[in-house]
Amino acid sequence: MGASYDKSIRILSRSTLRDFWEFHPDVEEALKTWYCEVSHADWQSPVDIKAAHGNASIIANNRVISNIKNNTYRLIVAIRYDIGIIFVTTQPTLTVRLSAHVEA
């Protein structure tokens, strides 16, 4: 009988996310949700990511930008599809929105 392999994706490193939400508690639940969803995914290509997360942006070098908490934060990760690992190499960043105030 052959070995059974778990198809879920490994995420390295959860501690980077935890460090971020400790300083930004408003995003803790959203990052935990992202982590849970992604760790159970079986992504083989960028097409799979777009099917699951249509607002994700696929960028160069197998990196993906995920919008977290209604686009308040952005999380950039690198993905090795061949071995099923996502690398969280930097902390999420706050999305800054500028709006012009126009007086009539």
Q: Quote the CA–CA distance of 10 and 83 in Å, as a whole number.
A: 9
CA nearest to 79, candidates 55, 51, 60: 60
Q: Which residues, 6+ apart, have CB-to-CB distance to 65 below 8 Å?
A: 56, 57, 59, 74, 75, 76
The domain tally of the chain equals 1
Task: Let me know the angle formed at the C-alpha of 15 by 47 and 92, rounded to the nearest 5 degrees.
Answer: 55
pTM of the model: 0.76
pLDDT at 30: 92
| Helix (H) / strand (E) containing 91 | none
What pLDDT score was predicted for residue 11? 85
Can you give the pLDDT of all 104 residues of the chain as single tens digits?
A: 444 445 678 888 888 888 888 988 998 999 999 999 988 988 889 999 999 888 899 998 889 998 888 888 888 899 999 888 899 876 667 665 444 444 54
Does some domain include residue 102?
no
**Number of residues assigned to the chain:** 104
Cα 44 to Cα 19, 22, 29, 55, 76, distances in angstroms: 28, 32, 26, 18, 18
User: Structural domain of residue 23, as residue ranges?
Assistant: 10-92
